Structures are given as C-alpha cells and as structure tokens.
Amino acid sequence: MNLINLTATEIAKQIHSRQITSEQVTRAFLDRIVATDTRIGAFLHVGAERAVAQAARVDQAIARGQIDSPLAGVPIAIKDVLCTTTEPTTAASKILQNYISAYKATVVEKLESAGLVILGKTNLDEFAMGGSTENSGYKLTRNPWDLTRTPGGSSGGSAACIAAAQAPISLGTDTGGSIRQPAAFCGICGLKPTYGRVSRYGLLAFASSLDQIGPMAHSIEDLAKLLEVIGGHDPRDSTSIPQSMPNLSSGLMKPIAGMKIGIVREQIENDGLDSEIRQKLLESIEVYRSQGVKIVDVELPNAQYSIATYYIIAPGEASSNLSRYSGAHYGYRSSTTDSKDTTANASSLIDMYCNTRGEGFGPEVKRRIMLGTYTLSAGYYDAYYLKALKVRRLIRQDFDKAFQEVDCILGPTTPTPAFSIGEKVDDPVQMYLVDLFTVGANLAGIPALAIPNGFTKAGLPIGMQLQAAPLREDLLLHAGYAYQSSIQYQPTWPTI
C-alpha cells in the first residue's frame, strides 16, 4: 500500500479509521527520506528513532481515544529555525552547529499536543536569508522536479520534502516570500498567515516585524487544518493577535460565486514576468470568472517600492537580531587566536567576537548584517530606516484600500519558475528580485497563499498568489479550494 503519495487529510482519515497506524506512515516517510535525501538534501536533521517512538505513542493515544485532533498521527517536517529539544536547531548556520534548544517553540508544542509526528528539520538559506536554499551553511537542496534547479527559499527544504514525498506537510517561515516562492518552485501550496496569527515564540528571528510561520502542503484542506493547529493567541509573543483560531476547514466547499477578486495590471504586464507564468495566470483568472467570481482591477501604487523598503527594514532588524550569536554564551565559538585588533586592552574579547562571527556566518548573512548596521547608524537612520517605515505604512494603506473593493487579490507568486543552481549566487540584486510579488504581504502584515496552477513546457511547476485582508485566511483558503476543485486538482509527484 502506498502510504506516501497521500495528503495529510487522507493519511489522518486512514489512521483515524484504523486502516493504518501512525507508526507505519512515519516509517514509510522515514524510509523515503533515507532512499531519496542524498539526492534532494531537504533535511538537516532526521529524528528517526524519536519519530517512530512518538508515532507509536500517538497510536496508543488514538486507540485510547485521548487524541481527537484532525491531523493526529500525521508526520510533518519543520524548518530548522523552529526550536526543538531533541534535534539541533541551527538555522542552517555554522554559528549554531549542534546547538540544541533548551525549550520548544510554541508551534512545536502545538504540533506535538495535536498528535503530529515531527520527522526532522529541513534545510534553508542560513537564517532564512535567501531565495534558493543555496545559502545554507551545510548543504544544497535540489528541486525534486529538476535536480539541477533550486527548490527556492528560504524554506527550500520544507517545500522540496513535500514535492519529493518525504513528508506530506511541513512548516516553513516567510519573511519576504520564503514559504510562497519555494512552494511555487516545487509545485505545492504554501500559506503565509496574517502577521501575529501564529506565535513566533521559538522561531529564530530574521526580521521580527515580518517573520511569520506558516503551513506547506499539497492540498488547501491540509493547509487549513495545519493552520488551525499552529495558530491562535500566545501570551509569550507580544505581537501575537489576541484572537482564537477560527475553524477554517469547514467552510472550504462553499461555492464562491459573488466573490470579488482583484488583479493588479502592473503585475501581470510586468516585463520581468515569465510569459508562461503570465499565460497560466490569465487562464486561472478565467477559471475564477467561470465560477461566478467578479474580476476587478485594483491598484497598489506603492508596490514598486516594496523591494527597496523590504531590503532596508529586514536587514536592519536582522543586524540586531543576530547580535546574540557572539560566541559568548552558546553555539559556535572560534578557537582562532589571530588578533585583528591590537590596540585595545580588551582585544581578546573583541577578537573572539570577530573570529566567531567571521567564521560562523556565511557571506549573505554578513552582507545583510552590514547593510542593516549601516542603515541603523546615526546619521543614516532617518534617511533609510525611518523612511522605509513610512513607505511601509503607505504600502499597507494601498492594501487596506484595495480590500475595501475586493475580497482577494490574485497575481503571480514569482517572476520566473525555479532557476538553476548557481544561476544567481553571484548577483545578490537579481536574487532579491525573486521576492518582487511576495514582499508586499509581509510589509503589510496580510495573509497570502501560493498555489500551483500548472507547469511550464519544460515541466517546471508554476504558482499563483492570492492575498487578502488581515485575518482573512478564510477567504484565501476558500478561493484556493474553489480553484483546485474546479480544475479537479490532483497532487502529482516527480520521479526521483
């Protein structure tokens, strides 16, 4: 029996009806990881024994009727920026090599208490900084649809493992598109929730005001159920929205006739947009129209400043968030005794900082720390960071205004399909532009959904993006589900 080419909802159903056990499914995925991950490289740490033991406990709990959660027994992979106390939490950085957290992230606690079984921790761009997972301090992750291409990033491991049938669902994090862009590249669904919907407690921060944890899966139903598990107010996160999680999965099947979906002309007509992606997007618009959805033009006049704004705010916050990785308290500490500062008496301490951070961080992380340090400096702060905060407010206002007119905004997720490994590594600005359509949602704090809407002629997945007003994940999932139903979407897996 094929246990791995199933959605989480299907697996949960079979476990619930005792056709299969969580342990069997968990073992099946662990076997798949062993068989394929030398080629894919999706995982940094796999907790095989722990996962099997955990699955067995969940099976017992289900048998005794102690767990009544819609995803009980389902295996899941999580991005290696979420704190777990069994496997290391490294953010794919050498500076946290072998670091084991003393506590669990809120989302990890929620997964466990809902009976999900964590298979392991997935690869990413170091500290989630990048769009190809090539910035990992440990290994490359390859796109299961074409092993010469990247899976996107930064949640590249979390996307690739689903596409490679190594896990049915996963958690990623999204600061500028890091869930949605790899979801699009790997042909799966990914949801960045409203800022504050999911607790960030135990998420290794990249840019605190933009970071959000979200679900990745094949089906919209899986996304809805997984978000129900991980979302809701957490008193340990001051930015967590004090609202309980609504039921998202029950209303998915309602017809969407009468819904208003906005499209942004500048996005569709953007010169940088791949023609095949444009073509699929136009087809998808027609699918919606045929469902009785009203398609309306909306304007996001400040969207053109999104990338510039994002690359001021995110590095600024990151430069401060990453100060704690100094070698003084935990993680990597350089044993190099080379002195770079011979003037000060305290040179041994400063040398330790310089050598630890110099050796521990990769080039992209250093680039962003330097960018952020510069923009926060006295004399530059007003011109850069403060200005960026003001533009950010304008971007948010554009969305507010648009959502007075429409329920969702539909557009491309990425300008291009998955690019080749090495293609953009020497051109950071080209790499930054892959976030063109996704960063707006992070700056505005709104939810955004990436769903597959076809393949290129060369067989690479293509995705589209739906965005909605804050806390309206229900609209996104509803619209996403309606699309998948109307095209009778079936998940497909590449041959590896």
Partner 1 sequence: MNAPSYTTVIGLEVHVQLKTASKLFCRCATTFGAPPNTQVCPVCLGLPGSLPVLNAQAVQLAMRTGLALNCRIAGFTKWDRKNYFYPDLPKGYQISQFDLPICSEGFLEIELANRITNDSAINDTAGVASAPNKKKIRLVRAHLEEDAGKSIHDESNATSRKKSDTRIDLNRTGTPLLEIVSEPDMRSAEEAKSYLTELKLLLEYLDVSDCNMQEGSLRVDANVNVHIPGKEPNAQLIATPIVEVKNLNSFRSVERAIQYEAARQYQLWQQNGLAIGQSPKQTRGWDDQDGITTLQREKEESADYRYFPDPDLVPVVIASEEVARVRESLCELPQAKRQRFVSEYQIKPYDAEVIVSQGLAIATYFETLIQSGATAKRAAAWMQQDVLRTLKDQEIEIENFPIPSEKLAKLLVAIEQGKLDTTRGREVFQQLVQNPSVEVDAAIEALGIVQVENQAMELLCKELLEANPDVVEKVKAGNAKAIGSLVGQAKKKNPNADPRVVQDLCLKLINASSV
In whole angstroms, what is the distance from residue 129 CA to residue 201 CA? 19
Stretch that binds partner 1, among 52-60, 152-160, 271-279, 320-328 (CB under 8 A): 320-328
- Residue 299 interacts with partner 1 (CB under 8 A): yes or no: no
Query: In the 8-state DSSP scheme, what is residue 434?
Result: G
Q: Min. distance of Cβ 209 from partner 1 in angstroms?
A: 4
Quick one: how far is CA 476 from the chain centroid? 16
Q: Which of 24, 60, 320, 486 binds partner 1 (CB under 8 A)?
A: 320
- Residue 207 interacts with partner 1 (CB under 8 A): yes or no: yes
- Residue 236 interacts with partner 1 (CB under 8 A): yes or no: yes
At 424, list the tokens: 């953009």
At 456, list the tokens: 């290129």
Query: In the 8-state DSSP scheme, what is residue 305?
Result: G
User: 3-state DSSP call for residue 466?
Assistant: strand
Query: In the 8-state DSSP scheme, what is residue 261?
Result: E
- Residue 100 interacts with partner 1 (CB under 8 A): yes or no: no
- Residue 486 interacts with partner 1 (CB under 8 A): yes or no: no
Quick one: how far is CA 331 from the chain centroid? 24
Query: Which one, 331 or 415, has the nearer CB to partner 1?
Result: 331
User: 3-state DSSP call for residue 295?
Assistant: strand
Residues 461, 145: contact at Cβ < 8 Å?
yes
Q: Min. distance of Cβ 152 from partner 1 in angstroms?
A: 24
- Residue 343 interacts with partner 1 (CB under 8 A): yes or no: no
Q: Min. distance of Cβ 66 from partner 1 in angstroms?
A: 29
Query: In the 8-state DSSP scheme, what is residue 245?
Result: P
Active site (annotated) includes residue 154:
yes
Query: Which one, 23 or 80, has the nearer CB to partner 1?
Result: 80
Q: Which of 37, 59, 80, 317 binds partner 1 (CB under 8 A)?
A: 317
Residues 414, 437: contact at Cβ < 8 Å?
yes
- Residue 381 interacts with partner 1 (CB under 8 A): yes or no: yes
User: Cα(first)–Cα(last) distance of the chain, in Å?
Assistant: 19
At 276, list the tokens: 């095949």
In whole angstroms, what is the distance from residue 179 CA to residue 154 CA? 7
Query: Which one, 236 or 340, has the nearer CB to partner 1?
Result: 236
Q: Min. distance of Cβ 320 from partner 1 in angstroms?
A: 5
- Residue 96 interacts with partner 1 (CB under 8 A): yes or no: yes
CA distances from 178 to 12, 326, 398, 476, 482 (A): 27, 26, 22, 18, 24
- Residue 235 interacts with partner 1 (CB under 8 A): yes or no: yes
- Residue 383 interacts with partner 1 (CB under 8 A): yes or no: no
Q: Which of 329, 337, 338, 426 binds partner 1 (CB under 8 A)?
A: 329
Q: Min. distance of Cβ 110 from partner 1 in angstroms?
A: 15
- Residue 204 interacts with partner 1 (CB under 8 A): yes or no: yes
Q: Which of 315, 316, 445, 470 binds partner 1 (CB under 8 A)?
A: 316
- Residue 147 interacts with partner 1 (CB under 8 A): yes or no: no
Q: Min. distance of Cβ 464 from partner 1 in angstroms?
A: 30
The catalytically annotated residue of 132, 155, 158, 178 is: 178
- Residue 105 interacts with partner 1 (CB under 8 A): yes or no: yes
Residues 416, 424: contact at Cβ < 8 Å?
no
* Among 225, 194, 228, CA closest to 212: 194
Give the interface size with partner 1 as a residue count (CB under 8 A): 46
- Residue 373 interacts with partner 1 (CB under 8 A): yes or no: yes
Query: Which one, 28 or 83, has the nearer CB to partner 1?
Result: 83
Stretch that binds partner 1, among 149-157, 287-295, 325-333, 464-472 (CB under 8 A): 325-333
For tokens 């740490």, name the residue: 45
Residues 444, 396: contact at Cβ < 8 Å?
yes
Instruction: Give residues 238-257 in contact with partner 1 (rule: CB under 8 A).
Output: 238-239
DSSP per position, 405-432: H-SEEEEES-SSSPPBTTSSTT-HHHHH
- Residue 324 interacts with partner 1 (CB under 8 A): yes or no: yes
- Name the β-bridge partners of 355: none
* Among 395, 396, 394, 376, CA closest to 386: 376
- Residue 337 interacts with partner 1 (CB under 8 A): yes or no: no
Q: Min. distance of Cβ 82 from partner 1 in angstroms?
A: 8
Query: Which one, 318 or 409, has the nearer CB to partner 1?
Result: 318
* Among 53, 71, 4, CA closest to 33: 4
Instruction: Give residues 157-196 in contact with partner 1 (rule: CB under 8 A).
Output: none
Q: Min. distance of Cβ 256 from partner 1 in angstroms?
A: 35
In 42-164, which ranges are E strands? 43-46, 75-79, 117-122
- Residue 377 interacts with partner 1 (CB under 8 A): yes or no: yes
Residue 27: which residues within 8 A CB-CB, separation 6 or more? 52, 55
Strands 189-192 and 294-297: what pairing?
unpaired
- Residue 155 interacts with partner 1 (CB under 8 A): yes or no: no
Catalytic residue ranges = 79, 154, 178
Contact positions toward partner 1, by CB under 8 A? 81-83, 89, 91, 96, 99, 101-103, 105, 200-205, 207-209, 235-239, 316-317, 319-320, 322-326, 328-330, 348-349, 353, 373, 376-378, 381, 385
